[in-house]
């Protein structure tokens, strides 16, 4: 089953009752259209459910692939799409042999990460982040934006409130009304930030440092430097301006660990913001004590699609249809990405200011980056 989904409001891909998940929604609708039994609708293992790539809470997919056992009829896809909510679409269902496993047959995966341009603004002089990299940072016009914001905060918040907001010892929740008010004001100010070509180039240069085989133990949880499972291979990274105010990062890798991409993007953002040399990224592949890297928001991450080159070669040799979307389906997927996924990402930023919260989090970073 080839499918796409907007992950906003879902607790990830994998079936996890009582939480709302993509697999849970698919199972329910498969039963509703008569493709599986009621008993099997409550147990994915009975249907041999296996995804080519798991996505976490809030993460989207332009294309993912599920291998599963169902009763397939001519109108199954049409009935499923009629029953499913608009944020989940089935692109097609293709018969495969009984031994096919979506996860093991997948050679590699393409991911995208969308970030607003303002996330690359330099840190304010008063921030902990600026103090940590003070010797490397040269003024690039960002401080003018922060000076404007400072004037706005003085007219909006009391001295006591500003102290609470700036005190790193006080771990105020993002849901705290004071923080929400502060970040809402910050969002309006940052929207006026103009990204320079050199800042975008610096971010891309940092992202290119990931290409190759490296030890990504600092980019996930529970891994030590000597753990062989932390070795991952990144095939390609492409950075471009996706739309006015937004940057798209495309990453092609064999496989990824929990939070790996979000931390890869976060570290490259920090390097570009602070004007650190791109090869600072290499320090995080080295042996030694674990280094802290914040996680960029999940809302910007989407699975572009799994790749089945090896399996498709076997299918071609046997004169079978390959596992890949045709041109018409690809057009539908691209429209879905724009209308459902990109719209949801932009809406979340407008309503919840997730990337503004992340800018504030980075500004308060006390851990040395060098």
CATH code of the domain in which 30 resides: 3.30.70.580
Sign of the dihedral through C-alpha 173, 190, 281, 303: positive
Q: What does the pLDDT read at residue 139? A: 72
Domain C-terminal end among 62, 88, 105: 105
Alpha-helix runs per DSSP H in 142-259: 142-156, 159-166, 177-190, 197-208
Q: What does the pLDDT read at residue 165? A: 87
Note the residue count of the chain.
370
Is 56 part of the annotated catalytic residue set?
yes
Residues 81 and 183 in one domain: no
Residues 162 and 100 in one domain: no
Q: Are 314 and 105 spatial neighbours (Cβ–Cβ below 8 Å)?
A: no
Residues 186 and 272 in one domain: yes
> At 360, which helix (H) or strand (E)?
helix 354-363
Q: Are 153 and 182 spatial neighbours (Cβ–Cβ below 8 Å)?
A: yes
> At 316, which helix (H) or strand (E)?
helix 309-317
Q: In Å, what is the CA distance from 153 to each residue of 160, 179, 183?
A: 12, 12, 10
Residues 115 and 180 in one domain: yes
Structure tokens at 284: 């995080």
Q: What does the pLDDT read at residue 316? A: 85
Residues 62 and 99 in one domain: yes
Residues 179 and 57 in one domain: no
Q: For the chain, state the CA radius of gyration.
A: 22
Residues 280 and 329 in one domain: yes
> At 92, which helix (H) or strand (E)?
strand 88-92
Residues 244 and 171 in one domain: yes
Q: Which CATH number fits the domain that encloses residue 228?
A: 3.30.70.660
Q: Distance between CA atoms of 367 and 146, rounded to whole angstroms?
A: 22
Structure tokens at 193: 């930030």
| Residue 111 assigned to a binding site | yes
Domain that holds residue 41: 2-105
Residues 149 and 79 in one domain: no
Per the residue annotation, which of 32, 56, 107, 140 is the catalytic one? Answer: 56
Q: What does the pLDDT read at residue 309? A: 93
Residues 146 and 290 in one domain: yes
Domain C-terminal end among 105, 135, 151: 105
Residues 95 and 125 in one domain: no
Residues 188 and 133 in one domain: yes
Domain C-terminal end among 52, 80, 105: 105
Q: What does the pLDDT read at residue 263? A: 98
Structure tokens at 76: 């199954």
Q: In Å, what is the CA distance from 47 to each residue of 9, 43, 52, 92, 118?
A: 25, 7, 15, 18, 45
- How many independent structural domains does the chain possess? 2
pLDDT tens-digit profile, the chain (370 residues): 999 999 999 999 999 999 999 999 999 999 999 999 888 887 788 888 899 999 999 999 999 999 999 999 999 999 999 999 999 999 999 988 888 899 999 999 999 999 999 999 999 988 989 888 866 667 788 999 999 999 999 889 999 998 888 877 777 888 899 999 999 999 999 988 989 999 999 999 999 999 999 999 999 998 988 899 999 999 999 999 988 899 999 999 999 999 999 999 999 999 999 999 999 999 999 988 889 999 999 999 999 999 999 999 988 888 788 889 999 999 999 999 999 999 999 999 999 999 999 999 999 988 777 6
């Amino acid at each position: 089953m080839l499918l796409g989904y907007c992950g906003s409001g879902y607790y990830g891909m994998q079936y996890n009752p009582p939480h709302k998940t993509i697999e849970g929604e698919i199972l329910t609708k498969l039963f509703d259209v008569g493709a599986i039994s009621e008993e099997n609708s409550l147990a994915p293992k009975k249907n041999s459910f296996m995804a080519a790539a798991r996505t976490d809470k809030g993460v989207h997919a332009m294309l993912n692939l599920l291998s599963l056992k169902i009763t397939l009829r001519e109108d199954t896809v049409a009935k499923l799409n009629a029953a499913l909510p608009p944020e989940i679409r089935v692109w097609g269902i293709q018969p495969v042999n009984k031994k096919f496993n979506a996860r093991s047959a997948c050679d590699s995966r393409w991911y995208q990460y969308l970030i607003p341009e303002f996330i690359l603004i330099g840190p304010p002089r008063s921030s902990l982040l600026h103090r940590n990299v003070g010797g490397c940072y040269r003024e690039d016009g960002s401080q003018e934006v922060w000076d404007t914001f400072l004037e706005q905060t003085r007219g909006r918040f009391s001295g006591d409130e500003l102290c609470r907001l700036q005190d790193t010892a006080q771990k105020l929740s993002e849901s705290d009304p004071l923080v929400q008010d502060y970040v809402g004001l910050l969002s309006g100010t940052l929207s006026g930030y103009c990204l320079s070509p050199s800042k975008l180039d610096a971010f891309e240069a940092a992202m290119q440092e990931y290409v190759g085989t490296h030890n990504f133990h600092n980019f996930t949880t529970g891994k030590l430097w000597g753990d062989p499972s932390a070795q991952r291979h990144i095939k390609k990274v492409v950075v471009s301006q996706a739309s006015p105010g937004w940057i798209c990062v495309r990453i092609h890798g064999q496989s990824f660990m929990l939070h790996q991409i979000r931390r890869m993007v976060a570290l490259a953002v920090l390097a570009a913001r602070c004007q650190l040399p791109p090869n600072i990224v290499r320090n995080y592949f080295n042996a030694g004590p674990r280094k802290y890297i914040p996680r960029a928001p999940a809302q910007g991450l989407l699975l572009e699609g799994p790749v089945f080159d090896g399996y498709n070669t076997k299918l071609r040799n046997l004169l079978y249809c390959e596992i890949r979307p045709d041109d018409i389906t690809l057009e539908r997927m691209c429209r879905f990405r724009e209308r459902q996924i990109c719209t949801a990402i932009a809406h979340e930023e407008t309503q919840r200011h997730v990337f503004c919260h992340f800018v504030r989090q980075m500004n308060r970073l006390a851990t040395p980056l060098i």
